[in-house]
Amino acid sequence: MIIHWADVIAEKLLEKRKEHRIATGISPSGHIHLGNLREMMTADAVRRAVLDADGSAEIIYIGDTFDPLRRRYPFLPERYEEYIGIPLSEIPDPEGCHESYSEHFLTPFLESLDVLGIDVMVERADLMYKNGRYVNEIKTALDKRREIARIMEEITGRELEEDWYPFMPFCSECKRINSAKVTGYDEKWIYYRCSCGYEGKASYSGGGKLSWRVDWAARWKILNITCEPFGKDHAAAGGSYDTGVRLAREIFGIEPPFPIVYEWIHLKGIGAMKSSKGIVVPVKDLVDALPPEIVRYIIIRSKPEKHIEFDPSALLDTINEFEDAFKEGDRSARLSIVSDVEYSDVPFRHIIVVGQIANWDVEEVLEILARTGYEISESVRRDVMRKIDFARKWLEHYAPERLKFEIIEDTPVVENGEKKFLKTFSEFLNEEMSAEEIHRLVYDVANDVGMKPNKAFKTIYRVILGKSYGPRIGYFLKSLGADWVKRRFQKVYEAN
């Protein structure tokens, strides 16, 4: 039996302790996309594996809402130039539908997590700072700034300025959090001078934030984190995690969390997904158009250290792979199922075909499925009803054109050879035939009338769909019903 990568990690975690807190964190500076979701899905797979092994685990999601807007991204209006450097939590929503910029991008992502069955405890960095949860760690970092600077220099090889402090004050004048420098501190205040010319004092509660690498290690202590997945950029030699390990042990007196390093998800033909460049497939869009178990499977089936090439046009192949894996009891497929879903054996591919034939009418879809050999139990009915909506949206947003069709009303012109094929095929076709038998019949009749099979297939598609290609012929004609197909073909060959 192949052991799933999440089970291997769970075993290592449980060797250390029985209870775990797994951290994930994303800066909501733009659309939170499939690439970002890898971190969350990796955490959830491990959480489930820990629970399956009789351990205890929860996911802490930290939205880095106190990070500054670093530049005006392509999707933002020109007026957002004036907000560069201001914390995301303090910037207005670009579309005016949420209370802040950060919530505009964070909210749909959190809603998607609910759909995906990922239970998280949500922390917002700006509130953590404003509510005083970082106070002790800020004071520790300021008191030990020389030691922190030495660690940073040893790890990165980069020399820091003599007056460097591991704290970014929030300027009460210009509202920026990346333009002021600490000039001193005491028990009550942190004093600063900003590039805007203002000099002031900042509170330990919300008056600024720790610099990134120090913030990360402090967060581990505040939230008691024992495990964290993160991108390969943080895992590079001399990177954030190496620094965090030293800071955790030498400054904050804790053991660093167990690391899970993951590779990027690439959008096929384009590269790694980046919100800042608009190279994204937003998670919200995916969970609207695909069953949640498929979105989960896209990520869970691959080891974290393996990069994923995401091809929207090949999603149907992924869905087929999932359905086969689920039937075989594959661990990746089982970890992908959202707990309250009953999965039936009606393939997504069939629902795409039948849905278009039935013009997405649920009862007609179920009637066709029954005709093609499926037993329509209550659980099958519920699963089909759930998948129909996804199939329709997937077809609209992600399906290649070759899978889309519409039955034509016009009667096309056919040649004598095509007419003979249609007439002979109709004579042999009957309702009792299976999809496989119908498929073979195309070859047999084509051979009998002296027509190449390729032309026979094209003829069938042309007289029904008005184009030379379509769904797999056996299941397609079986779904339409032999009587309907015979009447259609009769209408064509009698009109010619």
Category of 269 on φ-ψ map: left (φ > 0), alpha (ψ -120 to 50) or beta: left
CA 283 to CA 267: how far, in whole Å?
A: 13
Mean predicted confidence (pLDDT) in 25-47: 89
Q: Is the pLDDT assigned to residue 277 strictly greater than 60?
A: no
Cβ neighbours of 124 (radius 10 Å): 22
Q: Is the pLDDT assigned to residue 401 strictly greater than 90?
A: no
Rounded (10°) CA dihedral 48, 347, 313, 462? 180
Predicted confidence at residue 280, as pLDDT, reads 60
CA 143 to CA 490: how far, in whole Å?
A: 90
Cβ neighbours of 432 (radius 10 Å): 6
Mean predicted confidence (pLDDT) in 46-51: 97
- Summarize pLDDT for 75-122 with one digit per residue, the tens: 899 999 999 999 999 999 999 999 999 999 999 889 989 989 999 999
**What is the percentage of the chain residues whose pLDDT exceeds 70?**
97
CA 100 to CA 92: how far, in whole Å?
A: 5
Three-state secondary structure call for residue 490: helix
Mean predicted confidence (pLDDT) in 320-345: 90
Of 326, 330, 283, 267, the C-alpha closest to 118 is 283
User: In which band, very low, low, confident or very high, does the pLDDT at 428 lie, cut at 50, 70 and 90?
Assistant: very high
Please name the amino acid found at residue 160.
L
Residue 90: partners with Cβ closer than 8 Å, 6 or more residues away: 100, 126, 175
Match 């609910």 to its residue by tokens.
114
Hey, where are the domains in the chain?
1-156+213-341, 416-495
Residue 45: partners with Cβ closer than 8 Å, 6 or more residues away: 4, 5, 6, 300, 335
CATH class of 416-495: mainly alpha
Q: Dihedral of CA 38/43/46/47: which sign?
A: negative
Predicted confidence at residue 281, as pLDDT, reads 72
Match 């820091």 to its residue by tokens.
160
Mean predicted confidence (pLDDT) in 196-212: 97
Q: Is the pLDDT assigned to residue 470 strictly greater than 70?
A: yes
Predicted confidence at residue 275, as pLDDT, reads 55
User: In which band, very low, low, confident or very high, does the pLDDT at 259 lie, cut at 50, 70 and 90?
Assistant: very high
Predicted confidence at residue 407, as pLDDT, reads 93
Please name the amino acid found at residue 445.
V
Mean predicted confidence (pLDDT) in 226-238: 92
- Rounded to two decimals, the pTM is 0.87
Rounded (10°) CA dihedral 462, 466, 470, 474? -50
Predicted confidence at residue 274, as pLDDT, reads 58
**Token pair for 241:** 């995690």
**What is the percentage of the chain residues whose pLDDT exceeds 90?**
79
CATH topology of domain 1-156+213-341: Rossmann fold (3.40.50)
Predicted confidence at residue 269, as pLDDT, reads 61
Name the average pLDDT for the chain. Answer: 93
Q: Is the pLDDT assigned to residue 276 strictly greater than 80?
A: no
Q: Dihedral of CA 343/346/350/354: which sign?
A: negative
